[in-house]
Chains A and B, each alone.
Chain A
Amino acid sequence: MTMSSPVTAEAPVPTRWPARSPRKPSGGASWWFVLPALLAYAAVVLLPSAGGAVFAFTDWNGLAPELAFIGGANFERAFRDPQVRSALAVTAVFALAITVLQNIIGLALALLLNTSIRSRNWLRTLLFAPVVVTPVIVAYLWKYLLSSNGAVNQVATALGAGEGAVNWLGDPRMAVVSVVIVTVWQTMGVAMVIYLAGLQNIPEELYEAADMDGASSWTKFRLISFPLLAPAVTINVVLSTVNGLKLFDQVFVLTSGGPGYATETLSTLVYKTSFIVGEFGYATAIALAMTVFVAAVSMGLMAWLKGREAHVH
């Protein structure tokens, strides 16, 4: 016979209430505090972006006081423009290549650093260093190294690659490769550091248990490390994709979009169309399309990866 029913007094006034009532601040944080941040954000981001979105529907060249609404004409033109299409393709290729390489190399380096080799700490310092150096400086360094009689070709020739040393920056296809190499060289440290942090969060016991079950290294990686790295993978892939899609500095310095339009990305195209060709309206239309493209890709990617994360757990 249980004692619970006779013991309790009559039913209390409420039947259930939150275990921990929602607490509101006792009027401390004043709305005024948020004003500076909001003003700066609105003035620099929201309003200009809205304005930009509007200009996309005009034919303004940025200087003349007259402009005319031309509706979606800019967008139609962009859709048919081979330059825009090529830039879109190039941007996509960059984003893809950079993401894949950066993550593979970053993960490999993180795995390496996570083992007990002696030179761990200063190796990590060294490998991360390129991340902080100004991209423009890095790009110029590599511009020399990859020039026709630059260090890379000289070494290649010395190693017997023959006279036809690669025209890294002059050949359309190699130029794309070069940009990818330079960008990955600089940013692989970020992926490495994030993966390293993720790896170090995995409890040692999981590996020990796997050892006792006789798992091989590859199995351990496949069943423990990789799944538990899912959040880090999400961050890294989204980050490198978005950065790849917005790529500017390296292209601008290394190839200026050339040779021809081989390495022209959407970013550099917008810049040139605005300031060199002087077609502000058209440029903004491309920028708007680019915004939508980047937002769609990044959010779609995030959603897909987050879904995989949940599935893993």
Chain B
Amino acid sequence: MSTDLHRLGPWTRELAAVLSTGLVAVPLYLLFVLSLKDQAEMTRQPLALPTAPVWSNYSRAYAEALLGDAFMSSVAVVLLSLIFIVLAGSLGAYVLVRRGSRLSNAIFFVVVAGMVIPFQLGMIPLYQAMAKAELVGSIWSLVVFYSGVQMPFTVFLYAGFIRAMPLAFEEAARMDGASGWQVFRLVVFPMLRPITITVVVLNGVFIWNDFLTPLLYLSGSESQTIPVAVYAFVGQYATDWGLVFAGLVLAAIPVLTAYLFLQRHLIAGFAGGIKG
């Protein structure tokens, strides 16, 4: 325990805790509370608990925002992307690290350097290519996109971890008769579990919440992901804030639920993974 703030005394610290709690909690509280109010009550008494909760806001929001479909889309995009990202990323990092040659080091550098390229640079030519391949409007456009764009970061994470892994396990497996692929599948990949969790968490959150690219490829289509659905929904019902908030709450529930169950992994993933 650091003793930096002890001079403030326990009560000041508790106060600081309360204030920071309020800073975060109040807007979230308002998000839930306002979703259940009607227009009139919102202007009169924004902060109090709703007197007559307007539950219909939720059913309407769900239906109008097509959140059920959007949820399925988001899930599909995240799962499919993650499968490719984890497999290709771990395999790629494994080769580049274990080969250790000048060529593999050069390739590694080129891949990891991709982390600095903002996606706006290639955004337009890529869109053209996707359009030609008739992928625009389908979730596959996003799966392909994320598979490529997240590769530098993923390879970077895996490579750091693999570098720290002793060679002896792979050597033992070779002596036991494993082929190169079997060594990876049966020994290396299972041992990558800790970093795979970080990869999944960081990529998963990013992909789920991404807005601009899905806006580009899925705007208006029936495969739109949640952020795009929210954008369209709010655009349509901008004045009915209660309805809008209900939509926002519904859209936020999946992530918040995952967060409640996986917070330890999520927080550890952010703290540890970004450190790389």
Chain A contact residues, CB within 8 Å of chain B: 22-31, 33-34, 36-38, 40-53, 55, 62, 109, 111-112, 114-117, 119, 123-137, 140-142, 144-145, 149-151, 154-155, 185, 190, 193-194, 196-197, 199, 202, 204, 207, 211, 216-218, 220-221, 225, 231, 235, 239, 246, 248-249, 252-253, 267, 270-271, 274-275, 280, 283-284, 287-288, 290-291, 294-295, 298-299
B46 at the interface (CB under 8 A from A): yes
- Across the interface, do A130 and B24 meet the contact criterion of CB distance under 8 Å? yes
The 4 closest A-B pairs by CB, nearest first: A44-B148, A48-B122, A37-B92, A51-B125
Chain B contact residues, CB within 8 Å of chain A: 1-7, 10, 13-14, 16-17, 20-21, 23-25, 27-28, 30-31, 34, 43, 46-47, 84, 87-89, 91-96, 98-100, 107, 110-111, 114, 116-126, 128-129, 144-145, 147-149, 151-152, 155, 167, 170-171, 174, 180-181, 183-184, 205, 208-209, 211-212, 216, 226-227, 230-231, 234, 241, 244-245, 248, 251-252, 255-256, 258-259, 263, 266-267, 270-272, 274-275
Residues of A within 8 A of B266 (CB): 128, 132
Residues of A within 8 A of B209 (CB): 132-136
- Across the interface, do B88 and A196 meet the contact criterion of CB distance under 8 Å? no
- Across the interface, do B92 and A49 meet the contact criterion of CB distance under 8 Å? no
Residues of B within 8 A of A134 (CB): 208-209, 211, 226-227, 230, 251-252, 255
Query: What 15 additional pairs, Cβ within 8 angstroms, besides A44-B145, A111-B2, A249-B212?
Result: A33-B92, A34-B96, A38-B107, A40-B147, A41-B151, A44-B149, A112-B5, A115-B6, A128-B266, A129-B256, A136-B231, A185-B27, A193-B271, A197-B272, A280-B124
Shortest beta-carbon distance from B269 to chain A in Å: 10
Shortest beta-carbon distance from A237 to chain B in Å: 12
- Across the interface, do B47 and A109 meet the contact criterion of CB distance under 8 Å? no
- Across the interface, do B144 and A40 meet the contact criterion of CB distance under 8 Å? yes
Shortest beta-carbon distance from A228 to chain B in Å: 11
Residues of A within 8 A of B148 (CB): 40-45
Residues of B within 8 A of A23 (CB): 167
Residues of A within 8 A of B274 (CB): 190, 194, 235, 239
- Across the interface, do B25 and A126 meet the contact criterion of CB distance under 8 Å? yes
Residues of B within 8 A of A25 (CB): 98-100, 167, 170
User: Once bound together, how far apart are the Cα atoms of A106 and B90, in whole Å?
Assistant: 32
Q: A125-B263, A217-B7 are in contact. Are A115 and B125 (CB under 8 A)?
A: no
Residues of A within 8 A of B43 (CB): 149
Q: A136-B230, A140-B230, A185-B27 are in contact. Are A291 and B95 (CB under 8 A)?
A: no
User: Once bound together, how far apart are the Cα atoms of A154 and B42, in whole Å?
Assistant: 10
Residues of B within 8 A of A128 (CB): 263, 266-267, 270
Q: Write the chain B residue with the least CB distance to A294.
A: B118
State the main secondary structure of chain A at its contact with B: helix
State the main secondary structure of chain B at its contact with A: helix
Shortest beta-carbon distance from A238 to chain B in Å: 10
Residues of B within 8 A of A116 (CB): 1
- Across the interface, do A274 and B123 meet the contact criterion of CB distance under 8 Å? yes
User: Once bound together, how far apart are the Cα atoms of A202 and B10, in whole Å?
Assistant: 22
Task: Tell me which of A45, A114, A217, A253 contacts B231 (CB under 8 A).
Answer: A253
User: Once bound together, how far apart are the Cα atoms of A264 and B3, in whole Å?
Assistant: 43
